[in-house]
Amino acid sequence: MVEKVLLASPRGFCAGVVRAVAIVERALERFGLPLYVRREIVHNPHVVEELRAKGVVFVQELEEVPDGARVVFSAHGVSPTVRRTAEERGLAVIDATCPLVNKVHVEARRFAGQGYTILLVGHAGHEEVEGTMGEAPGQMRLVTGPDDVVRLEVEDAGRVAYLTQTTLSVDDTKDIVEALQERFPGLAGPPSSDICYATQNRQEAVRRVAESADLMLIVGARNSSNSNRLVEVAARCGIPSYLIGDVAGIRPEWLEGCTTVGVSSGASAPERLVQDVCDFFRRNGAVVEEVTARRETVTFPLPSELQ
């Protein structure tokens, strides 16, 4: 029987997600419908469905947006090609790209301008990776794991730089970067870690909770990179760890023999979904205790056209 729930803090929405969702809501207030969003504004179906219920239209590509219409770019960022297409179509663009993702884009342009081959550590097919690689497609290689490092071929081994997706596992990325540094002793990198503060803080909080838990539940979407990394972090701590979309995803057999359950959530999961999970355990006699690893005070301003 579960007697205690250890609730990790920080968890849930990061500043970039708060900003992205607020951008869509403010744009609705200021400009009304129709309003289009390219891809999921953040990787969580609950957030997307709530906005869709307000009339927002989500599209995969700009070809689905009528000429001259208003469109929001998601928090994950887009390539220069997408930006050019929007300009050519006369679309009124509102950019919800997370400032920390934009930082990686700036670094990509800087290294590309200096003639570097850029090794981007990330997950193939993720929107953030697609957008970043679009900044310098001819000079960028994707590195998804240590095995890729061995197979890398570059024009000038003395002029190689690396960048990373913002939502990776801190531990995995460290191992990959060390392998790159061994292969390319002169490897250049960003002035500060590309893995965002929120990703690092949530992983740290999960590690702390996992020390005292029998099981970890992470609330988040299947396509949420940072949520999946939290599951992996907890599993590395030696306890079973599961990703659930909401409280309905909890399977009774997971709880057999567990007295303490850890709970956290990915950076795009609404807090109400986490509280639903806590309420589920409270109704079954458990107490909920918050475990705080770090305080967060980061905020990002809205674009000037929405302020």
State residue 3's pLDDT score.
Answer: 98
State residue 167's pLDDT score.
Answer: 97
State residue 48's pLDDT score.
Answer: 98
What is the rounded distance in angstroms from the CA atom of residue 65 to the CA atom of residue 49? 19
Number of H-type helices and E-type strands within the chain: 10, 12
- Compute how many other C-beta atoms are within 10 angstroms of the C-beta atom of residue 270: 20
State residue 299's pLDDT score.
Answer: 98
Sheet holding 70-73, edge to edge: 57-59, 36-38, 70-73, 92-95
Catalytic residue annotation: 128
CB 162 within 8 Å of CB 120: yes
Tokens of 15: 């500043």
**Packed helices 99-113 and 15-31: angle between N→C axes, nearest 10 degrees:** 110
- Compute how many other C-beta atoms are within 10 angstroms of the C-beta atom of residue 141: 16
State residue 155's pLDDT score.
Answer: 93
pLDDT along the chain (307 residues), means of 10: 97 98 98 98 98 98 98 98 98 98 98 98 97 97 95 95 97 96 97 96 98 98 98 98 98 98 98 98 98 97 95
